[in-house]
Amino acid sequence: MKVAVIGGGAWGTALAQLCAENKHRTRLWVYEAEVAADVRERRENTMYLPGIPLSAAIEPTNDMAYALTGAELVLSVVPSHLARKVLHEAAPFIPRNAILVTATKGIEDESLLTMTGVIEEVAPSEIHRKVVALSGPSFAREVALGVPTAVVAACRDIRVAEEVQYALSSDSFRIYSQTDVIGVELAGAIKNPVAIAVGVADGMGLGLNTRAAIITRGLAEMARLGVRMGANPMTFAGLAGLGDLVLTCTGDLSRNRQVGLKIGQGKTLNEILGGTRSVAEGVRNAATVYKLTQKMEVSMPIIEQIYLLLYAEKSPKMAVHDLMTRRLRSEIGL
C-alpha cells in the first residue's frame, strides 16, 4: 500500500518503520526540517528516536501535499493539542478513498472530543466511515526495535478495522480488531494521568501496595466514564484498557510515569516540562479528562486529585490523604 504517516515524533517514526518493514511505500511527514534531513541523510531520527537505524524505504518530507499524494492508508500521529491544526492542513490532500488511522492518545482541550471526533469535524466526509483508532500497550522504541507487541484497531465498520489489522500486523506487531471506538480512545487518554498518579506515588516511596491500588481504581474510573459515554465495558479489560494502563504505569520508558516520579520527588511541573522536548500527554489529559468528568457528571477521584496536583499546586501528600479518607463505599458497581 501507499502509506502516509503524519507526525515525525517517536511514535510516528516507529510506525513509519513498521510500515516500511511491511513493504508499504511509506512517506513520513515531519514538521521540523532538521528531522526530515536527519532521517533522509542519516537514516535516524536523532531528536525523537535516537539510536535506531531506519529503513531506507521511509521517505521523509515537509510537504504535506506530497506526503499524502496517492495515499491509501494515512496514519495521524501528532500530539492531541496539535491534531486539529495539522489535520486541517492535511484535509484537502487526503484521498477520498483512504483509510485514516489515528494513533494519538488524547482528548482535545476545548471541545473535549476524542481524536476521531476531531477528525470527523475537519476531514472529508467521504472518509468518516473509514476512521480507525489504533491503541494499546506500545512504547515507540520497542516497536521500532521489533519487540513483540499487541495492540487494537477499532472502527465502527469492522471490515475497515480488519484492513488496518492485516496491513500493519507483522511477526512482531500483532493487531486485534473491534468496533468500540469510543472505549478504545477513552482508555488511551485516561491511562496517561493515571500513570502520572502512579509515578507520584512511586516518587514518594509509597510502595507496591499503593501502586496496585492506583492502577486498579484507575481502571475502575476509566470504565465508569467509558460506560457513561456508551463504551463496551469489556474494552477496558483489553489491550487499550488494562494492557496500556499497566505498561504506562509501570514501564520506565513511560514519559507520564517519569513526570509523576519527579513530582513525587519534589520537582515542580514547570521544572520537569522545561527539560524535555517529548510530550507527556498525561499532563494535558489530566485537565481534559477532568473537564470531561464534570461534563458527564462522573466521579473520578484519582483524576481529580492529579488535576489539582498539576494545576492547583496541591501537594502530593495532601492528594494521597484526600484519596484515602474519602467516604467508604462498595467496590462493585459503576
Active-site amino acid positions:
191
* Residue 215, C-beta contacts closer than 8 angstroms, at least 6 positions apart: 194, 198, 245, 246, 249, 250
CA-based end-to-end distance of the chain: 43
Using CA atoms, how far apart are residues 26 and 12, in angstroms rounded to an integer?
12
CA 279 distance to own-chain centroid: 11
* Residue 226, C-beta contacts closer than 8 angstroms, at least 6 positions apart: 182, 183, 186, 187, 233, 235, 236
Phi, psi of 278 (to 5 degrees): -75, 150
| H or E element, residue 206 | none
CA angle 302, 303, 309 (to 5 degrees): 90
- The candidate with the shortest Cα–Cα distance to 64, out of 44, 47, 86, 84, is 86
Print burial letters for 71-92: b (CB count within 10 Å at least 16), e (below 16): bbbbbbbbbbbebbebbeebbe
DSSP secondary structure, 136-163, as one string: SS--HHHHHTT--EEEEEE-SSHHHHHH
SS3 108: coil
- Classify residue 141 as exposed, middle or buried by CB count within 10 Å of its CB (0-12, 13-18, 19+): middle
